[in-house]
Structure 1
Amino acid sequence: MVDARYFATAPAGALELLRDELKSLGATSTRLHGGGVAFSGAPAVGYGAALWSRTANRVYLQLAAGEVHDGEDLYALARSVDWSEHLAPDTPFAVSFTGTSSTIRHTHFGALKIKDALVDCFRDRGLPRPSVSTDSPHLALHAHLHRNQAVLYLDLVGFGMHQRGYRAGARIAAPLKENVAAAVLLRAGWPRVAEAGGALLDPMCGSATFLIEGAWLAADRAPLLDRAADMSLTLWRQHDKALWQRLVADARTRAEQGLAQLDLPIVGRDIDPRSLKAAKHCVAQAGLRDKVLLQQGDVRDARPSARQGLVVCNPPYGERLAEKASVGELYRALGDTLRQHFVRWQAALFTCNADAVKQVGLRPLRSHAFRNGALECQLYRYAIDPEHFRHPPLETGLWLARAVAERYPQLAHSPGAQAFANRVRKNLKRLRRWLKQEGVQAFRVYDADMPEYALAVDVYDTLDDGRWVVVYEYAPPRSVDERKVRQHRFEALAALPGVLDVPADKVVYKVRQRQKGRQQYEKLAATRDFHQVLENGARLWVNFVDYLDTGLFLDHRWVRREVAKLSAGKRLLNLFCYTASASVEAAVAGARETLSVDMSRTYLEWARMNLDLNGLDADAHRLERADVLRWLQRPPRSEQGRFDVVFLDPPSFSTSKRMEGTLDIQRDHVRLIEQARALLKPSGTLIFSTNLRGFKLDETALVQHWQVQEITRETLPPDFERNARIHRVWRLQPE
């Protein structure tokens, strides 16, 4: 019998693995070509590839091939096939087409030509016309055109071969395709590890794809065994039913024997209970309920279940800016766990995030490029051995203080760190009586007092989780020696836990640069880890990690107190309200009504949390999401002239997709103040504040309608006395 010709496709990065698989199944004349492997073999080889290939996307049987210069040539090639020998008239079919030429420029046109030829074949034989079903064809045909050479294929499987069946019914967003997971395991050497009795661990297992594919591979279970009855080849008119039944029966026997003998530790962990629920479902569907152990837990708590094994995982990629900082911490935690507890094991990390991989602290033995769907990924392979350890860089990161404490435990005793600690200690002593008298729980203890330590250090004594410290580094000029900056940064971070009596893992480090446009709204992480502080009698939520700012501008503490004092028993309008802390403090102090306006959904949700935390009535203390510039131009008629106090604290500069134009406070402040006058009672007060350095109030333009009084000095609390230019504040009353 003449061997048939086949073509199997696979994800980028898995073609050599696919070729090896096909050879092991008896394929001959294997050749890598395009996105797949061309091969020859008896029907048992083609059927075997459909049933046993772990890495393939599709397996095609070649029906015809020839030179094609235009649509007519393509039609003629398709007409050369007696389609009635391949499908029955009542078999719904579909045609897919890839490739183009100078005359066949559209794949839809190519597919249409083949469909027409097939239909005409049945018509000429007096047979009913088969129906086309693009959604659920019983038989799938495929054609590929390259350099005027066209090939027509029958898709033996009819669906993507990554669809093993065990994910059916699971509510999961699983970015890792099953055949890609199998390819990763093969490339990582799992068959050798399993043969030696080693364990398999996925510490971030998600829906357990690696675990299932690894168990099936070790148990010699065919990956498409559960889908054998669903394949297109069973409806092919030349289908060898006896051969297929024999191959499937043999695969079932091998699977039963392999699973009975499978006695390897195969363990999956995940911190997310929803992921574990999906993993349990998939593991049960795969027939591995008693073979795979699933545990809920943090990656830091993972421990080896055997003397040797393979750690494999597909950590989060962190593609969004909001995720990048937390993802870096996750990779660092994974690396710490591997180096401390998994020596002599092997590891394989599959990821798109090349930067985060540097945080693992291991030198990869090799890396392999893969494609997972539309994502370009890399597989990094490691031998977990001290000779391959390397320290991840400590240049940045929210938890840099913790990393410095772990890496350089003696640095806190260095002369530089001690000098910095002495200055912080001196400031604490100066502020201590005032802090106690006023009950201040969030304050600045250091603000670039020593020029070489260009940091601001804020202390938060939270109601729910004790003391936290937030460190802002002012980005240095490019002319400054980065090595010295780094040294001073590390010395300060090493000193702070001791002098402020706070654990290093509660010291958060950030870099404050000049903000432009929407950068003020960018997230650093996505923990939603909020804590409570008490200020001016109000409880307020703060977040130390997710944003550059914490939700509470400490320099405005006395500004908020002044606004609250003015608003007692009255109505307050808070424009550019941020997290509405001024409104909350005013409401707690007795304001009858408040209206807080901001464009950010995130900050208004935060504001609602602040109001709810203090048990304030949502009808009396309203929040409105709006572009303040547009809102001031056309304020609701019902709001005009009804407020006793207006608090106007705009950003120095802002722009966004939802804003009408841009805001430049130096240019626009007179217009904003004048527009706000329409909302103020004749006897009311407007408090205007800005943090723009070098700002100049245009009093000449304002004195025609306002009494203007600068109250900046009265609003600077003792912890900000060193930085008298941090904000400017005016009290304005209509003439």
Structure 2
Amino acid sequence: MSDYSCELFATCLAGLEHALADELAAIGIRRTRPLQGGVACYCDRRLALKACLWSRLAARVLLVVDRVNAKNADALYQAVFDLPWEEVVATEATLSVRASGANDELRNTKFTALKVKDAVCDALRERAGWRPDIDPREADAVIEVRLKDDRATVSLDLSGSTLYRRSYVAAEDGADEAHRCGQAAGLLALAGWNGRAADGWALADPACDKGALVIEAASVACNLAPGLTRDRWGFGGWAQLDLDAWEDLIDEADAAFEAGLQRVREGASKASGADGVEQVRFIGLSASSVAIAEARRRVRRAGLRDVASIELGDAESVDEAVVRASKAAGGPCLVASVEALSAPGGAQATAQAAASALVRGVSAAPAGSSMAVVGYDQVGRSFSQSPACKVALGRGRVEQTVRVFDEPAGERTTVVVPDPAGGAEHEVSVYDATSAQFVARLHKNFRQRRKWARRVGVSCYRVYDADLPEYAVAIDVYAGADHARGNTYLHIAEYAPPASIDADKAARRFDDVLALAPVAMGVRPDHVFAKTRRRDKGGSQYASDKRYNYVTLVEEAGHLFEVDLSGYLDTGLFLDHRVTRLWLQDNAQGARFLNLFAYTGSGTVYAAAGGAAETTTVDLSQTYLDWARRNMELNGFSGPKHAFERADVMSWITECRHSPRRFDLVFVDPPTFSNSKAMGKRTWDVQRDHAELLIGVSRLLAPGGVALFSCNLRTFKPDLETLAKYGVDVQDVTAETIPDDFSRNQKVHKAYLVRRAQKD
């Protein structure tokens, strides 16, 4: 074959195209062209195999067979059939086909793949005398067809499966773990790690999770080919495979790794110094023992145990780790980390803890050191200069920003935080010196509120509610119950600052809250759930970014409740209604109970526990009704006497008034505002519509019945004149329903007892 007999297309994460082109050129492939999503290039068979073995940035290496007519199914079949498959697919190889893209005639990728599979199989049977077996999972030869307009690019995947799934990653680990290896390799490439590793730099990852970045960095330094121990390749089904060339490449890679590993070992030994303590240039820290165990297994699988260390640590120990790594290197350190794509809970506080550790780490590193991150948008606020490199890595769900900083971090200060268990004080790096006032208030509140909670038997309570105007957040404690017993969670809700407050300054202060609160209260950062609330005009309608769910169980007054600490702005249990719920329980004996705007049904649980003869739970959301049913079942309440009805409450009341159904006890806790699509053109506004609501509710009360009405609009004023006109008595009981932990804010909700007026 000629020197340039193979046309390849190497795919990669968006943003790495030029870096991949440079990498392929370093491998020896001279004709490269970066394109969207990858690099087109030409080379001989040996270099094609070398690209598979050595590329750290390519996700797949595709051998382009041809570009064919794909105007319709028949044209695609015939064009693929005419290709010389006997020269592409090895004899007796198993086969699979994957397709992507669509046009007006070929809209279904499964159908497209089927037509291509039939064409290849028919061609091999007719011209080579054999028909391949189909193996959709582990085929020897994987054919890829990509449609664009009326043309299709048909390729053989020489890699077989994504090259980002390194051999040190366990087979059962999901796609996100393989993707993270690709992110780590991309980060290192964009940070110029090849040259820095050759110059003897160290690397420290203060939030290493399962160690991908540390392993990738050590692999580059030790000249470990990422595909050296990979056991399955797509080129196993390639008719043009040169096995002798492949074996030579493996031998060369073995020798290169042995020499590179020895070189790094010797460098670390020289740096150990007179104390004789062996040093390593590559250190990862994690606060999770489970992650540490898996990261260490990966280091061993990669053969890098002698040069990389995964250790227990956090923001307070990162500077010592950076100093040790730099000492082993005898020079600068790259402090770097890759933020997880998805975290089921506590993502923001965990990220803030890691960001603080990164900044603290680079501040402790020798002159000339750098910091590089994937994600961790918070770190940018620590630098006065723009990043030396800023690249969007990936697209859609997996897109994150790479930032590389080559100058020192900006001015930061250290706050001393008392240990909540009475141990040694903690030093936490923050942006704003006034954070010391916040943490002092939080520590005092927590110490007092924790004693109160233990005394009165409360496990979910508020600790802080914008006590200092500059730190306008609400912090609630949730103690896990049942299977989550022993876990403590923090729910931190930020109230968006007014326009007069500088947005960047507010963001830095919120970052400080997320860094300080877990330390001050002795809670793991991944058990801290942070949310930003933005008030709409007229009430408490809040906006939120898309979140992952984190569902657990808590206990209140002996009852179990399911809460979601991350998926919604509110958790499913309004803590300020603790006293209200107890009132319902105390007055429910033998009552026919109705819960309107029932949310997750916590009021119904209390009424059932208080001996209600029957309960009816009404809400417009099926999601909340299902949640309410689960809460009832958690506490042993099920059966026909407990009804759950999905309906618009105002319409439901109108219909119910024309039926004989009446209730002895009603709980009404409407939202401040709603414009749900399920309500049609009508909207709900509690100030505007409450009179109509309460008049209707009063007509559903049995003789002697009572309704408890509540709302959280701070400016709410009942329309007493209209209510009295329609024979509705209203008694303000707000002061009696505010729990002690909400006493600082008497406007957290309003509460009223509603009855039918007695006739003279």
Provide TM-score, normalisation by structure 1: 0.69
Segment drifting more, 185-194 vs 28-37: 28-37
Per the TM alignment, residue 56 of structure 1 is displaced from its structure 2 partner at its CA by 1.7
Distance 2:744 2:101 in 1: 71
Q: Write the mapping of 1:129-278 to structure 2, written as runs, cut at 5 A.
A: 129-142=131-144, 153-172=155-174, 173-174=176-177, 176-227=179-230, 230-263=232-265, 264-278=280-294
Q: 2:410 is matched with which residue?
A: 389
SS at match of 1:211: helix
1:437-475 deviations in whole A, cap 9, x for unaligned?
x99999999999xxx979999999999999x99998696
- Tell me the distance in 2 between the aligned counterparts of 1:153 and 1:720: 69
Amino acid paired to 1:665: V
Give 3-state SS (helix, strand or coil) of 1:295's partner: strand
Q: Is the 8 A contact 1:686 1:731 kept in 2?
A: yes
1:380 shift after superposition: 0.7
Secondary structure at the residue paired with 2:229? helix
- 1: CA distance, partners of 2:730 / 2:290: 58
Give the CA deviation at 1:90: 2.9
Structure 2 residue 11 is matched with structure 1 residue 10 = yes
Q: How many pairs align?
A: 677
1:653 — aligned with what? 673
Preserved contact between residue 32 and residue 41 of structure 2 (Cα < 8 Å): yes
In the alignment, the residues of structure 2 paired with residue 348 and residue 369 of structure 1 have an alpha-carbon distance, to the nearest angstrom, of 14
Q: Residue 427 of structure 1 aligns with which residue? A: none
Amino acid at match of 1:176: H
In the superposition, relative to structure 1, how do residues 699 and 177 fare at CA in structure 2: closer, same or farther (>3 Å)? same
Q: C-alpha separation between the residues in 2 aligned to 1:520 and 1:376?
A: 22
Q: Is contact 1:65-1:152 (8 Å) kept? A: yes
Residue 417 of structure 2 corresponds to which residue in structure 1? none
**Structure 1 residues 60 and 540 mapped into 2: Cα distance closer, same or farther (>3 Å)?**
closer
CA distance in 2, matches of 1:18, 1:102: 33
Paired amino acid for 1:9: A
Which has the higher Rg, Structure 1 or Structure 2?
Answer: 1
Correspondence list, 1:414-493, <5 A: 476=498, 481-482=500-501
The answer on whether the counterparts of 1:522 and 1:547 sit within 8 Å (CA) in structure 2 is no
1:708 corresponds to 2:711? no
Change (3 A) 1:298 1:444: closer
SS in 1 for 2:164: coil
DSSP-derived class of the 1:169 partner: coil
Matched, 1:279 2:265: no
Q: Which runs of 5+ in 2 are unaligned?
A: 266-279, 327-331, 414-426, 439-455, 480-485
SS of the equivalent of 2:360 reads helix
Which residue matches 1:420? none
Distance change >3 Å, CA 528–CA 291, structure 1 → 2: farther
1:4 match: secondary structure: coil
1:174 alignment partner, SS class: helix
Q: Tell me the SS of whatever aligns to 1:176.
A: helix
Q: CA–CA distance in 2 between the matches of 1:285 and 1:56?
A: 21
Q: Distance in 2 between matches of 1:410 and 1:674?
A: 49
Comparing 154-163 and 65-74, the one that deviates more: 65-74
RMSD over aligned CA atoms reads 6.1
Aligned 8 A contact 1:171 1:278 in 2: no
Task: Tell me if the contact between 1:221 and 1:255 (Cα under 8 Å) persists in the aligned partners.
Answer: yes
TM-score normalised over the length of structure 2: 0.67
CA distance in 2, matches of 1:542, 1:194: 47
> Which residue in 2 is equivalent to 1:396?
none
What SS is found at the alignment partner of 2:250? helix
CA distance in 2, matches of 1:544, 1:81: 56
Q: Deviations over 1:338-362 (max 9, x none)?
A: 35433547445443565x3434446
Rounded to whole Å, the distance in 1 between the matches of 2:73 and 2:608 is 76
- Tell me what 1:425 maps to: none
Letter aligned with residue 271 of structure 1: A
C-alpha displacement at 1:25, in angstroms? 2.9
User: Residues of 1 paired with 2:137 and 2:431: CA distance?
Assistant: 57
User: Is 2:553–2:561's contact at 8 Å kept on the other side of the alignment?
Assistant: no
Q: CA deviation at 1:247?
A: 1.9
Asked if 1:312 corresponds to 2:336, the answer is: yes
Aligned to 1:230, the other structure's residue is in SS state coil
Measure how far apart 1:134 and its partner are: 4.5
Equivalence map 1:291-690=2 (5 Å): 291-302=307-318, 303-304=321-322, 305-307=324-326, 308-316=332-340, 326=349, 329-330=352-353, 332-344=355-367, 346-352=369-375, 354=377, 356-361=378-383, 363-372=385-394, 374=396, 375-383=398-406, 385=408, 388-389=409-410, 407-409=432-434, 476=498, 481-482=500-501, 513-514=535-536, 519=542, 573-576=594-597, 627=646, 629=648, 632-633=652-653, 644-656=664-676, 662-666=683-687, 668-669=689-690, 672-673=693-694, 676=697, 680-690=701-711
Alignment CA distance shift 1:136-1:555 (3 Å): closer
Q: How does 1:96-135 map to 2 (within 5 A)?
A: 118-119=120-121, 121-125=123-127, 127-135=129-137
Conservation of the 8 A alpha-carbon contact between 1:640 and 1:679: no
The CA deviation at 1:7 is 1.4
Between the aligned partners of 2:581 and 2:100, the Cα distance in structure 1 is 65
Shift of residue 310, structure 1, vs aligned partner = 1.8
Letter in 2 for 1:686: A
Describe the superposition over 1:648-686 as per-residue Cα deviations: whole angstroms up to 9, x where unpaired: 232232355777875443565456446645764422222
* DSSP-derived class of the 1:204 partner: coil
Q: CA deviation at 1:181?
A: 2.4
Q: CA-to-partner distance for each residue in 1:700-719, whole Å, 9 max, x for gaps?
A: 67766x55243368759899
Q: What residue in structure 2 maps to residue 36 of structure 1? A: 38
Distance 1:610 1:457, change over 3 A: farther
List runs of 5+ in structure 1 lacking aligned partners.
Answer: 393-401, 414-437
